[in-house]
Structure 1
Amino acid sequence: MTAVALERVSDRLPAYSLFAAVLSGAGLPIYIYAPKFYADNYGVSLATLAAVLFGLRLFDVVQDPVLGWISERLGAARRWAVSFVGIVLGLSMVGLFAVAPPISPVIWFGLTITGLFTAFSFLTINFYAQGIAKAGSIDGSHTRLAAWRETGALLGVCLAAVAPTLLESTSDAPFAVFALGFAGVAIIAVAAMAPEWSGKVENEPTAIRTILKDKLARRLLILALVNATPLAVSSTLFLFFVESRLDAPGWEGPLLVLFFLAAAVSSPLWAALSNRIGSKRTLLAAMVLAILSFAFVLPLGAGDVWVFAIICITSGATIGADLTLLPALFARRMAAISPNGGQGFGLWSLVSKFTLAFAAVILLPTLDYAGFQSGAADNPENALMTLTILYALVPCALKLVAIALLVATKLEE
């Protein structure tokens, strides 16, 4: 093993990658799979599921800042709190996918996904806050840590995306097996990260208004909100688009893997490029490439799987830049104005989840209104056209707004 490799292992950055993989496995794939799973298996309408998801995000408006406040005051109890909440995360996943609803499917969906995302928020806030202290003790600082962390997160998304599809050939209940496997890996990840929570954390909590008063922190939060919404849109509609617009049922898993694997592979490359030309120029290049990728989706129709596969690779690669560089920029700013990081990443978590809520509450009812039915053999053409416009044109418009915001933002390189 080389000296560089030994140094990286001694920094325990692989533990950060594994923990990030578990968090990502409880994040985006749940918004991709859960609505379709409950619509197909329990007959819950897309509009009802969207209403539940949006209601939970309104709850997050209060919950996430409170979790950030708690995080900054845990002290030595952080390790035990994280361990307990890690178990809650695994159990909530099992309840969501592996347990037949003992009560109304809508209520059960709301209860289990509340437990899942409350645990997800708490763990994410503590994880990224601890990263501020970690980055100060390693070579390469925030960008190097972000590359390890976000690469692990993206690989976790890849595994979570493809696992149910692969398990369909070996199990009658692929989502149940996935949920149980996820719970087991979550326990391993929590154990691997346990030594990290004893790291030094600043004692003075930061008021949330201090963060919101900071012009750069506020601008980065707004930029994250606008720039992440296209990913939320494409994630929410991905399964519907592949199954109905491309008429390619069974290809959802492989195409998702292509998308997120491209993001994972590109992540360290974007980090290296940002070290050479700066984060702002790198992000702008990635945003332009994203717009071009989404634009090529507009003319696609039944049978265009291979063209869409290429688009998945290029658009996925742009996500690698978003998920690596923006959190690193925000963490760098938090290190300057809020060393604890709990309140700051409470806001960051809220912004990330709000984009998914926005996508669900706008897109799913719109599809319902257009006459789209999940799993239907023959959706009307106007419903399929609505699906295409929502999947491709909306992200293009949002990316243009994100470019304008980024151009107007002076970043600390």
Structure 2
Amino acid sequence: MTPSLTLSHAQSARYGLLGLPLAFVAMPLYVVLPAHYAQVLGVPLGLLGGLLLLTRLMDAFVDPLIGRWIDRLLSRPQRALAWVWVMAMMLTIGFTALFFPPRSSQSALLWWCALSLLVTFGAYSFGSVLHLAWGSRLGGALIQRSRLVAWREGFGVIGVVLANVVAVQAGPGWTALVLLLTLLLGAGALVSGPRPDEAVGLASPEAAGHRTWTLPWRGQPFRRLLSLFLLNGVASAMPATLVLFFIRDRLQAPMWTAVFLASYFLMAALSVPFWLKCMARWGAARTWCAGMVLSVLSFAGVMALGAGDVLPYLLICMCSGWALGADLTAPATMLTAVLQHEGHARQAEGAYAGWWQWATKLNLALAAGLALPALQWLGYAPGETDASALLSLTMVYGAVPCVFKLMSLVLCWCWRHQRAWS
């Protein structure tokens, strides 16, 4: 590709399409799988929980190592594209094996689950890190970087909405088929889309050495951006962890769950062009700040909700979903800017992407690790109807994330003049 030219929307869309199946597969892996193995296959919750925890920890900490490998692959884009097809095949095989295990003893079933999870998580991590690193290596000016991120994350939101329908309503068989078809479409689009120039060699001896995977941590801009991303990510992941409890116990409207979630993610997808224009006018950091302000103003309203407040909560879902668009587009755009500013373009996109994916997964773990014990300590249990317990649920679901979001806003505003973020 020619760096001086801005990629068209059609070219950016071909790059971004792979984001749909990668987002699509995450929902059944994290939401549907535990219930499937516990309720359908009869695996005890204690054993299943320990197995999922172990495999997810292994998955999170392997991402930086995958990033180092991907940096080597990206020096020859054609070779990297060949591995995309391998990823698509392994992800489909692992996912299908995971949801269709052979009927056997409980111990054999657990081993099958563990091995299938390792294959599935490994392929998913490889695809996610490669896709992010590929977009970062395409690089370009702010308008190109933000456009690439917008198409990738926009397709990702569509994948989440599609998964909520297919995985819940149609079952694992149709889910595996849709996954295969969308992976083939996404991989084919990436092959026919824009690709970075081949790297004739790494620009610095450090980047070529054995410590490539730690290279991002040596620059203050990346450390600041990642700390901000983690803090803001906990603020977003905590409500996601507790949303089903809030809808069922506080609002007492479980039949509206699909409507609430669909409105949230659809508004996020629709907001992407708006935030793209904001970044072109204000820059990525100020745009992210604006999204944080809107998120706090809209989400603080949950503190006043009670049983039956369906329409007010639907409005909150729509407004906070619109604010989510800034979280989806601005941080990743800033990540590419940091990489370019630090002089690591065409050297360490995989390393940066690996640590970014690690932080994304750590957000989910931190949110669950903070929110669930806090609720238990405050006296809430699922199905609880006591007023004080429901107040505790509302505080942890609504107030605590707003505090984290405000802290993120202060940091982002203080650091908005970082040259590396523009």
Pairwise TM-score range, normalised by the shorter structure: 0.7 to 0.9
Q: Does the aligned pair in 2 maintain the 1:98–1:177 contact within 8 Å?
A: no
CA distance in 2, matches of 1:401, 1:39: 38
Match of residue 403 from structure 1:
409
Residues 367 and 156 of structure 1, relative CA distance in 2, 3 Å threshold = same
Residues 343 and 26 of structure 1, relative CA distance in 2, 3 Å threshold = same
Matches within 5 A, 1:153-302: 153-165=156-168, 167=169, 171=170, 174-196=171-193, 199-202=196-199, 203-204=201-202, 205=207, 207-302=212-307
TM-score w.r.t. length of structure 2? 0.83
Q: Does the aligned pair in 1 maintain the 2:20–2:157 contact within 8 Å?
A: yes
CA distance in 1, matches of 2:46, 2:318: 31
Query: How far does the alpha carbon of each residue in 1:236-284 deviate from its partner, in whole angstroms, 9 at most, with x for none?
Result: 2223322333222232222111111111111120110121122222211
Match of residue 356 from structure 1:
364
CA distance in 2, matches of 1:51, 1:294: 33
Q: Secondary structure at the match of 2:255?
A: coil
Q: CA deviation at 1:153?
A: 1.4
CA distance in 2, matches of 1:368, 1:241: 15
CA distance in 1, matches of 2:216, 2:274: 30
Q: CA deviation at 1:44?
A: 6.5
CA distance in 2, matches of 1:363, 1:157: 23
In the alignment, does 2:399 pair up with 1:393?
yes
Residues 360 and 344 of structure 1, relative CA distance in 2, 3 Å threshold = same
Deviates more, 1:205-214 or 1:190-199: 190-199
Match of residue 372 from structure 1:
381
Q: Does the aligned pair in 1 maintain the 2:28–2:167 contact within 8 Å?
A: no
Q: Does the aligned pair in 1 maintain the 2:228–2:411 contact within 8 Å?
A: yes
Match of residue 3 from structure 1:
none
Match of residue 9 from structure 2:
8
Match of residue 69 from structure 1:
68
Query: How far does the alpha carbon of each residue in 1:2-39 deviate from its partner, in whole angstroms, 9 at most, with x for none?
Result: xxxx9533x2x222232111112233564344445555
Q: Does the aligned pair in 2 maintain the 1:130–1:201 contact within 8 Å?
A: no
Q: Does the aligned pair in 2 maintain the 1:32–1:236 contact within 8 Å?
A: no
Q: Secondary structure at the match of 1:140?
A: helix
Letter in 1 for 2:247: V
CA distance in 1, matches of 2:316, 2:274: 19
Q: Secondary structure at the match of 1:73?
A: helix
Query: How far does the alpha carbon of each residue in 1:99-156 deviate from its partner, in whole angstroms, 9 at most, with x for none?
Result: 57754576655544443332222111111111123343x9932012112222111222
Matches within 5 A, 1:45-194: 52-60=51-59, 62-74=61-73, 75=76, 76-99=78-101, 102=104, 103=106, 110-136=114-140, 140-165=143-168, 167=169, 171=170, 174-194=171-191
Q: CA deviation at 1:89?
A: 1.9
Letter in 1 for 2:250: R
Aligned length: 396
CA distance in 2, matches of 1:46, 1:380: 26
Q: Does the aligned pair in 2 maintain the 1:87–1:187 contact within 8 Å?
A: no
Q: Structure 1 vs Structure 2: percent identity of aligned residues?
A: 32
Structure 1: where are the runs of 5+ without partners?
A: 1-5
Letter in 2 for 1:358: L
What is the RMSD computed on CA atoms of the aligned residues?
3.0
